[in-house]
Amino acid sequence: RTDQYGGSIENRARLLLEVTQAAIEVWGAKRVAVRLSPHGIANDSGEPDPMPLYTHVVKALDKLGLAYLHFIEPRSSGAGRADVHWENVPSAMVLFRPLYGGVLMTAGGFTGETANAAIAEGHADIIAFGRIFISNPDLPRRLQHDYPITPYNRATFYGGEEKGYTDYPVYDALTPA
């Protein structure tokens, strides 16, 4: 693009920042949050080096006093693409925490142990769980008691039927394995 929304980092960040500011004007900053996927890939999109663009965006969002800023970690391929490899790619929360003084949430491949470590180390304030919550309706209890995690079935994510959404049982610690 060569218009006001393309080309330079400032221009490519413009739409996000304008929409965020408009939402703040309607609902107030403490009721607006933004989710970023610096290493996200959808179709052929994505940044070969996300640091310059996302550094600019995070610094700009930090000034707005948002409810929270939510990152998707690079180890999480939302599309389940086998060709996406994130070895040796630093964590989004580790990269951007120093730039953002507000509440920081992150998601993507966490276990109970790694979630607690991320919070204890000050990298994030909140850890979100998505896919494994689908297959573990009692996920907080499982994490708290170190109960086994039921693997999710990606093939059922977008099927529109109850299979994969309402048929996962809660963990019964009294039932022998």
Please give the model's pTM, rounded to 2 decimal places. 0.84
The pLDDT assigned to 123 comes to: 93
pLDDT over 80 at 88, yes or no: no
pLDDT over 90 at 173, yes or no: no
Q: Which of 9, 12, 28, 11 is nearest to 20 (CA)?
A: 28
Mean pLDDT of 94-114: 93
User: What CATH number does the domain located at 9-128 have?
Assistant: 3.20.20.70
Tokens of 128: 């979100």
pLDDT over 50 at 82, yes or no: no
pLDDT over 50 at 53, yes or no: yes
Q: Pick the residue with more confidence: 49 or 63?
A: 63
pLDDT > 70 in the chain, percent: 88
pLDDT over 80 at 98, yes or no: yes
Cα–Cα separations (whole angstroms), residue 3 to 11, 14, 17, 19, 73: 8, 11, 16, 17, 30
Mean pLDDT of 3-18: 95
Q: Pick the residue with more confidence: 124 or 39?
A: 124
Per-residue exposure over 8-42, b if at least 16 CB sit within 10 Å of its own CB, e if not:
eeeebbbeebeebeebbeeeebeebbbebbbbbee
Instruction: Give the pLDDT band of residue 74 (cuts 50, 70, 90).
Output: confident
